Amino acid sequence: MTMQAMRPYLAAFRARFQLMLQYRAAALAGFGTQCWWGALRIMVFAAFYGVHAAAAPISLADAVTYVWLGQALLALLPWVADPEIGQAVRTGGVGYDRLRPLDAYGYWYARTLGWMLARAAPRAALMILTAGLVLPLVGLGAWAWRPPSGMAAALLFIPAFVLMTALGAAVLMLANIIVAASLNERGVNAVLTPLVIVFSGSLLPLDFFPDALRPFLHVQPFAGLVDIPFRIYFADLRGGAALQGLALQAGWTVVLIGLGRLAMERMMRRLEMQGG
């Protein structure tokens, strides 16, 4: 796709991103909540490591960094459908999307990316400042967010983060399409939220699950949202294993985008607009 053809989608992304950045109070409230829950989770990990440190698959320092990364990037997880989609379907505004001379899936995908990134960016910046800089300065370096484990990990985390975001938007697009078809986001959110939180590794790193479940957990699509990029960050995945993780993220992103396009085409054909 040429740059000229991409301009409408970039404009849609930019408009949604700038709109969501205006909600500063929501960002501050979310940051405060995520700091609180992050501190609670770290205390739970500290208690666990105090008794079972030898059995833990990662070090306490990596577990702490895992928690702060998860709290900083929580808004990138596709655990609730885009509320604007449900509203557009209920009010009939989705009809405008059918009339635009654009690819409807690409347009929704661009706006979804803008929504996700704008919610995550200010919270992540504040989390880096607080957990990465302030905590070491006040003598709490053991509970601080540590930088990537070396230059190789830092460089590999860049594509891992990009693929994490792209995969999250692909998952969210499937949820949005279901919302558009069912006219209600409550059922989708009720199912999607626990699936994403548990199977992504957001609640608990996937290596803490029983050995019999790990082969499945490490290859299912939600692992690319948290477990793979975070383990790359602190070099638990390195070299060939890290490249396999990136390939898994990319593969699931392509598959879910393909499924989303098929589902959206079918949904748009059956969508009926009423009123006058």
188-223 residue pLDDT tens: 889 999 999 999 999 999 999 999 999 999 999 999
CA distance 248 to 223: 9
Q: What is the arithmetic mean of pLDDT over 39-54?
A: 88
CA distance 79 to 226: 12
253-256 long-range contacts, CB within 8 A, separation 24+: 253/163, 253/166, 253/167, 253/170, 253/224, 255/221, 256/167, 256/170, 256/171, 256/173, 256/174, 256/221
**In this predicted structure, what is the pLDDT of residue 268?**
80
Q: Do residues 171 and 221 lie in contact, with contact meaning Cβ atoms separated by under 8 Å? A: yes
The one-letter code for the residue type at 239 is: G
pLDDT of residue 247 exceeding 80, the answer is yes
pLDDT of residue 168 exceeding 90, the answer is yes
Query: Each residue of 57-83: b (16+ CB within 10 Å) or e?
Result: ebebbbbbbbbbbbbbbbbbbbbebbe
Distance in Å from the first CA to the final CA of the chain: 37
The verdict on residue 51 lying in a domain is yes
- Residue 48's CB is within 10 A of a number of other CB atoms, namely 15
**In this predicted structure, what is the pLDDT of residue 202?**
92
CA distance 258 to 264: 10
The one-letter code for the residue type at 72 is: A
Q: What band does 158 get if pLDDT is binned at 50, 70 and 90? A: very high
pLDDT of residue 276 exceeding 60, the answer is no
Q: What band does 259 get if pLDDT is binned at 50, 70 and 90? A: very high
pLDDT of residue 80 exceeding 90, the answer is no
Name the residue among 196, 167, 183 with its Cα closest to residue 258: 167
Q: What band does 30 get if pLDDT is binned at 50, 70 and 90? A: confident
- Residue 130's CB is within 10 A of a number of other CB atoms, namely 17
| Total number of domains in the chain | 1
Name the residue among 188, 175, 167 with its Cα closest to residue 113: 167
CA distance 210 to 90: 43
Name the residue among 115, 275, 258 with its Cα closest to residue 177: 258
pLDDT of residue 275 exceeding 90, the answer is no
Domain span at 265: 3-270
In percent, the amount of the chain with pLDDT more than 70 equals: 97
**In this predicted structure, what is the pLDDT of residue 1?**
61
Mean pLDDT of the chain: 89
The verdict on residue 276 lying in a domain is no
Burial of 113 (0-12, 13-18, 19+ CB in 10 A): buried
Q: Do residues 140 and 46 lie in contact, with contact meaning Cβ atoms separated by under 8 Å? A: no
Of the two residues 182 and 7, the one the predictor is more confident about is 7
CA distance 33 to 177: 30
**3-state helix vs strand vs coil in the chain, percent to 5:** 80, 0, 20
The verdict on residue 203 lying in a domain is yes
The verdict on residue 275 lying in a domain is no
Q: What band does 273 get if pLDDT is binned at 50, 70 and 90? A: low
**In this predicted structure, what is the pLDDT of residue 185?**
80
